Amino acid sequence: MIYVGDAGRVGDGVNGHHVYPVRCSLFGPSITEVDRRYSDFAWLHAQLAKTCPGCILPPIPGKVVGILHSREFLEARRIGLQKFLTNVAAHEVLMHAPSFRQFLQASTVDLSALKAKAKVVNDPKQALTNWFGKAVQKFSEHDKVQSLAARATGRDVVAKPKSDQDLAFDQIAGYVTMLDGHAKTLQQKVLAAYRANRATSAAYCDVIEATSELAELESSLPEMKSVGFQSVMEIVDIRAKHLDSDWAMLTDAVDDFSRWITSVQAALATREDRRFAYQAQLAAAAKLSGESPEAASESPDKQRSSFSSFLGQSSASHVNAAVQVAKADFEAVHERVMSEVLKFREEKASVLKVMFLQFASLQLDNATEFSETLHRVVPKLKDTSTAPVAAGHVSSVYLSTANDHQSSQYQDFEDVIQSNQTPATKTHKNSSHSLDDNALPVTPYADVSL
């Protein structure tokens, strides 16, 4: 069991951030609880990608500027983070990763130390060598580069035959690329529909406000008592609420689906990275032995004793061992990626079924609620009886309303004038008797008849 609690604010100003309490009972009968911020989840995701190459990682919610962290956003992120941890715990490979246990059990101080340690590169020279070898191999396999090289040497371009592994992988990679494009298009269209519905919902709210003002004006007329202002506002209100929620769930689901496909592409890219590393080692072995890479892969023992590599000297035994390690790593990642893609295809069908079923169920629930609202308010609107109108009542009502409005404006004007005046001094009559303390002060704007 894994549960991610509500976000809590820690710190103030630029140093402030949100933390999520994470409770789990995966490693014993007792329940452990730790506080984790979003960067901790991102660290776990990066560590899983590094230690479990070829696995399709569950996506995590995207990073957003802190000023945009509304209550709804934090709740949506909490749900996404809990879904991420639940899917990791259900994966037969990811659940055994050391970083997953460390994330769920380490203290905040220990996890910070692990995050700092992960940023340190053990051997920068070897990392640069590996990167350079893969970059050269990837560059050399480009069609345009091969054409330019053949043109420069005056030879024909000879296409290297691909293995069955590469052919099967190319088919899957092409399918995932097309799937990613269609998913992103669907994501954009659903988001556009959601925003359009939100705009329509806001327009409906304006209609409700205008209807309410009209109803308030007409409320004092007896013949308007039977007019269903409230019923109409209830109908428009329920439609506005449905328009606001109709596409919200589908938008979130399609967004998760699109990010899931991005994770699939990341797994495929890892397989290609291992292939480039293997091909780079074969090229190094071929240069050492003076043979082609294909011949080096078939007979890696036929190598000379010394070879000037990119950043140092390598012995034949070292190159041979590197080829074997790269080959084993590539084959292991290839098998894992192919099995992960098969599982992805099965889960994809289930996810799409659930997504569309939830969308249809929401439409059905909204339609049912709207139908019940109509059945409740339509009989009221069908009441055509009206109260008799008394002679002169309309003019008196509107006159009273206008006078009330003018009186309100005049009173506001008087309040402004009084607030700008100093306290009035007491005035005295010409006689010996003066005004007492309870006498009203003279108003300078009083109507004085000459």
In this structure, the answer to whether residues 83 and 172 fall within a common structural domain is no
Flag whether 402 is in a domain: no
- Three-class secondary structure of residue 307 per DSSP: strand
Residues ≥6 apart with Cβ < 8 Å to 23:
1, 2, 3, 5, 31, 32, 33
> Is the per-residue pLDDT at 368 higher than 50?
yes
Contact present, 258 and 184 (Cβ < 8 Å): yes
Flag whether 229 is in a domain: yes
pLDDT for res 222? 73
Q: Convert the pLDDT of each residue in 168-178 to its tens digit.
A: 999 999 999 99
> Is the per-residue pLDDT at 347 higher than 80?
yes
pLDDT for res 447? 46
In this structure, the answer to whether residues 60 and 132 fall within a common structural domain is no
Burial class (CB in 10 A: 0-12, 13-18, 19+), 311: exposed
Instruction: Give the least confident one: 56-65, 133-142, 299-308, 362-371.
Output: 299-308
Q: Convert the pLDDT of each residue in 121-169 to its tens digit.
A: 555 555 555 555 556 655 555 555 445 544 555 555 445 677 888 899 9
Contact present, 32 and 105 (Cβ < 8 Å): yes
Comparing 404 with 288, which gets the higher pLDDT?
Answer: 288
Q: Convert the pLDDT of each residue in 310-327 to its tens digit.
A: 444 456 778 888 889 989
Domain of 19, CATH number, reads 3.30.1520.10
Instruction: Give the least confident one: 32-36, 114-118, 223-227, 409-413.
Output: 409-413
- Three-class secondary structure of residue 445 per DSSP: coil
Domain of 212, CATH number, reads 1.20.1270.60
In this structure, the answer to whether residues 218 and 312 fall within a common structural domain is yes
In this structure, the answer to whether residues 98 and 194 fall within a common structural domain is no
Residue with the two structure tokens 């945009």: 68
- Three-class secondary structure of residue 2 per DSSP: strand
Band of residue 365 on the pLDDT scale cut at 50, 70, 90? very high
The token pair at 147 is 């054409």
Percent of the residues in the chain that have a pLDDT greater than 90, as a whole number: 41
In this structure, the answer to whether residues 101 and 131 fall within a common structural domain is no
Closest by CA to 280, choosing from 316, 336, 322, 329, is 322
Across residues 293-298, what is the average pLDDT?
55
> Is the per-residue pLDDT at 266 higher than 90?
yes
In this structure, the answer to whether residues 247 and 336 fall within a common structural domain is yes
Distance, CA of 436 to CA of 125 (rounded, Å): 101
Q: Convert the pLDDT of each residue in 377-392 to its tens digit.
A: 888 888 766 666 665 5
In this structure, the answer to whether residues 230 and 376 fall within a common structural domain is yes
Domain end position, chosen among 350, 366, 381: 381
Domain end position, chosen among 347, 381, 415: 381
pLDDT for res 429? 42
Question: How many structural domains are present in the chain?
Answer: 2
pLDDT for res 44? 95
On whether the pTM is more than 0.85, the answer is no
> What is the chain's mean pLDDT, rounded?
78
In this structure, the answer to whether residues 80 and 128 fall within a common structural domain is no
> Is the per-residue pLDDT at 81 higher than 90?
yes
pLDDT for res 418? 62
pLDDT for res 391? 57
In this structure, the answer to whether residues 318 and 374 fall within a common structural domain is yes
Domain range enclosing 67: 2-118
Flag whether 361 is in a domain: yes
In this structure, the answer to whether residues 77 and 185 fall within a common structural domain is no
Percent of the residues in the chain that have a pLDDT greater than 70, as a whole number: 68
In this structure, the answer to whether residues 178 and 209 fall within a common structural domain is yes
In this structure, the answer to whether residues 187 and 335 fall within a common structural domain is yes
Burial class (CB in 10 A: 0-12, 13-18, 19+), 62: exposed
